[in-house]
Structure 1
Amino acid sequence: MIEVVNPTTEEVIGTVRAGTPGDVDTAVTRAAAAFPAWAATAVEERAEVVRRIAEGLTARADELASTMTAEMGTPITFATKVQVPNPVGIANGVADALEAGYFTDEVIGNSLVVREPAGVVAAITPWNFPLQQMVAKVVPALAAGDAVVLKPSELAPLTADLLAEVVAAAGVPHGVFELVHGTGPVVGEALAAHPRVDVVSFTGSTRAGRRVSALAAETVKRVALELGGKSANVVLDDADLGRAVKIGVANAFMNNGQACSAWTRLLVPADRQEEALATAVAAAAKYVPDDPARSGTRLGPAVTAAQRDRVVGYIRRGVEEGARLVHGGVDAPTERGFHVAPTVFGDVTSDMVIAQEEIFGPVLSVLPYTDVDDAVRIANSTIYGLGGAVFSADPERALAVAKRLRTGQVDINGAAFNTSAPFGGYRQSGNGREFGRYGLDEFTEVKSIQR
């Protein structure tokens, strides 16, 4: 059995059975058997099922939010406002794409081009946005007519059980959706290597993504990867610095700093770094580590003791490299729970480890730049390319800079997240896209029929 530990209380709050390669084979076999009938269902029927999944998530929003807070430490307010509504929006966006004619045939000369379900999908999901990432894979795959075997993170498995109940209640037939709990090295690897799995959709670390790709390559299956990030928030010299920094701190510390697309690098004009640091420290001071189940808490714990220690190790590394620690540090801010003090570094250079590697905790690095070209160079200097931001008083100037950033998403002046727009990364942040019609592309095949 796998014990589920509340990272705030350090107490066991549940258990799930650790799956085996045999369990994976059974689930994949059932999914493969159920696939033909589900693939043959009308697109309209599948769209209705997706709408019912969205309705089911909405109906159980409070339960889902409290479960995520308990098992992975996301603040309850963030869970209520983001961790549940985003998946609902993603599901409805997929249904919208179906109803807008995603599966409409195309004629090119004497060819009829049709989209068809890809087959059996293995969905391997993380713990930091458990519901969102499960929905981002499971729902478009089901909508496309695929059968799905889900392997959720063993650190946040209880949310997956709730999703399974919602999916069943929405009318998804037996075998079309299968759930196998377990660890990545056992269940995840068995899924990635299984010869009857046609598509693997994985969200997690870049290291684990490379392993998934290698295993999947043995059977030449399609692989979609949403991996790490080291996103830059580029504040131009004409921007409202105070507003940009406050929004940037909120983004960097959201979900306890455990977000792959978080703006963990704040790039500011060199002559305004001290002003930016003062604002960042004032903003960071409002993120007081506390019980995430309390409505006023902004910063909960790291998901595990090991993750806490990893983040603290990066803070130590930043000090050793010569970055200026202006807020926070390595000391434990609470007596119980895997909390990390919200931390801000100044005088960070792009060659430092804390500016290059994904920390996955509440740590913000402030990097001064000389001009726009220097800012773009710094922003593009990592192996990642998932998220990013640009702030400027001139929207067109901001857009010009956004287009120069080698990253999958860029928010201008704090624009809202869009659950129907494509989400994914460049370079070692992965390949493929999620959400809306772009997410459906990952789970369909395109066939040309010449007439």
Structure 2
Amino acid sequence: MTAELGSPLKLSQAVHVGAPIAVAGSYAELAASYAFEEKVGNSTVHLEPVGVVGAITPWNYPLHQIVAKVAPALAAGCTVVLKPAEDTPLTAQLFAEAVHEAGLPAGVFNLVTGLGPVAGQALAGHEGVDLVSFTGSTAVGRRIGATAGAAVKRVALELGGKSANVILPSADLAKAVNVGVANVMSNSGQTCSAWTRMLVHDSQYDEAVALAVEAAAKYGERMGPVVNAKQQQRVRSYIEKGVGEGARLVAGGPEAPRAQGYFVSPTVFADVTPEMTIAQEEIFGPVLSILRYEDEADALRIANGTVYGLAGAVWAGEVTEAVAFARQLDTGQVDINGGRFNPLAPFGGYKQSGVGRELGSHGLSEYLQTKSLQF
């Protein structure tokens, strides 16, 4: 994982391998306890495997994204053809070896490597595939969805995000800012659900910016590179665009922090306004935008003011206050006062962040279809 993606070894062990182990375990338990049959009046409803699943996975969390699709598909009784990202195919090869050693019958799990526009598109359009599950950019998701839709086949899409981290005035500001910065810098910012927009009340704005600058400085030596040269250039161009549109660069910048490797400096922008490119588009790098708001209505308008709706966070002195705000967010997941990752909770987005859910029982149901027998 570290050699392919560039993530620091501790992150590879704790997150890139730790999370998929937890997810795989959760589906092993769910497969044994899930109600694949239910009685409804004079009918018996059977939940049956959808059939052949075409799984197309990204490079940013290579093993986690594979397991988040393959484990529920197998638990549902489906067979799988996996097309991993071309940047991280070796993780998938090792996973295939593990599947073989575990004794799955030949043909239940299948691995096809290749380029997305070639192998991925061919898999999505193949008449032998009953459901396409894709994780990646919204732009590619549109093409996959169009291909699947033309063939009238099931599709699950987990796409981009521009998640808001809303810090209400009653919150523990230092904790909210520090955890918020850590969230954005983790995995070198290559996380679709990262809280890349930090929303702070006018009265606390300057203090929050100072805290964020201080927090970002700790990540210079701790972050790995981004995945490749193209990604490095993409992130740097967004940073340049932020400067060009008038945002105030308070940490980091477009210059590469090291002579070797695809590194990007932990970057923080202040005085970001909602319409700026860096507040609207997914950068997929270690770049945080800090926006100010006047009141809760203003914060809600800004938080919901993108085409995305994947994740987010709300911080407040009282949980009830944070929950009341979170319920108004157009997003699939919200962490309250730093809530921890839960492998049993559904993950997926509103709006252009996707269609369907992964993880837990909701993730399993994506791979099932219903048949009712009347008596």
TM-score (normalizing by structure 1): 0.82
- Aligned counterparts, 1:243-254, within 5 A: 243-254=175-186
Note the 1:250-289 alignment, pairs <5 A: 250-289=182-221
Q: Which residue in 1 is equivalent to 2:281?
A: 357
Identity %: 60
Moved segments of 4+, more than 4 Å: none
RMSD: 0.8
Question: Could you say what secondary structure the match of 1:208 adopts?
Answer: helix
Does 1:425 find its partner at 2:349? yes
Give the corresponding residue for 2:21.
Answer: 88
What code does the residue aligned with 1:254 have? Answer: S
> Quick one: distance in 1 between partners of 2:314 and 2:9?
29
Cα distance in structure 1, aligned partners of 2:280 and 2:174:
25
Give the equivalent residue in structure 2 for 1:210. Answer: 142
Letter matched to residue 196 of structure 2: T
Contact preservation (8 Å) 1:94, 1:420: no
- 2 CA distance for matches of 1:389 and 1:279? 18
1:116 partner amino acid: E
Distance (Å, rounded) in 1 between the aligned partners of 2:28 and 2:35:
10
Q: CA deviation at 1:108?
A: 1.2
Matches of 1:439 and 1:93 in 2, distance apart? Answer: 11
Aligned equivalents of 1:179, 1:99: Cα separation in 2:
26
1:64-93: CA deviations, max 9, x gaps? xxxx11111112111111111111111111
Q: Are 1:89 and 1:420, in contact at CA under 8 Å, matched by a contact in 2? A: no
Give the aligned residue type for 2:126.
H
Q: What's the counterpart of residue 338 of structure 1?
A: 262
5 Å-filtered alignment, 1:13-162, equals 68-103=1-36, 105-162=37-94
Which residue number in structure 2 is paired with residue 400 of structure 1? 324
Structure 1 residue 410 and structure 2 residue 334: aligned?
yes
The number of equivalent residue pairs is 375
Aligned equivalents of 1:101, 1:193: Cα separation in 2 = 31
Q: Deviations over 1:131-151 (max 9, x none)?
A: 000000011111111110000
**Contact kept? 1:120, 1:197, Cα under 8 Å:** yes
* Residue identity matched to 1:419: P
Q: Which residue number corresponds to residue 299 of structure 1?
A: 223
Whether 1:169 and 2:98 are equivalent positions in the alignment is no
Asked if 2 retains the 8 angstrom alpha-carbon contact of 1:387 and 1:410, the reply is yes
Contact 1:234-1:267 at 8 Å conserved across structures: yes
Aligned position for 2:152: 220
The runs of 5 or more residues in structure 1 that have no matched partner are 1-67, 290-297
- Match of residue 3 from structure 1: none
Confirm whether residue 240 of structure 1 aligns to residue 164 of structure 2.
no
Q: CA deviation at 1:96?
A: 2.3
The structural deviation recorded for 1:302 is 1.1
1:106 shift after superposition:
1.1
> 1:94·1:139 contact (CA, 8 Å) conserved in 2?
yes
Distance 1:418 1:185 in 2: 33
Q: Is the 8 A contact 1:239 1:393 kept in 2?
A: yes
Opposite residue 273 of structure 2, the aligned amino acid is: T
Letter in 2 for 1:243: K
Within 1, Cα distance between the matches of 2:145 and 2:288? 31
Amino acid at match of 2:20: P
Q: Once the two structures are superposed, what CA deviation does each residue of 1:238-258 show, in whole Å capped at 9, x if it has no partner? A: 001000000000001110000
Distance 2:55 2:35 in 1: 22
Superposed CA offset, 1:168-223 (max 9, x none) = 12221101111000001110000000011000000000000000011111211100
Equivalent-residue separation in structure 1 for 2:230 and 2:254 (angstroms): 14
* Alpha-carbon distance in structure 2 between the residues aligned to 1:144 and 1:260: 26
Output the amino acid matched with 1:364: L
TM superposition shift of 1:98 = 2.2
Does the 8 Å CA contact 1:342/1:362 hold for their aligned counterparts? yes
Q: What is the identity, as a one-letter code, of the residue corresponding to 1:83?
A: H
Which amino acid is the alignment partner of residue 120 of structure 1? V
Q: Does 1:186 align with 2:121?
A: no
Deviation string, structure 1 residues 259-286 (Cα, Å, up to 9, x no partner): 0000000000012111001100110001
Indicate whether 1:322 and 2:322 are aligned: no
Question: 3-state SS of the aligned residue for 2:326?
Answer: helix
How far, CA to CA, are the matches of 1:170 and 1:421 in structure 2? 27
SS in 2 for 1:246: helix
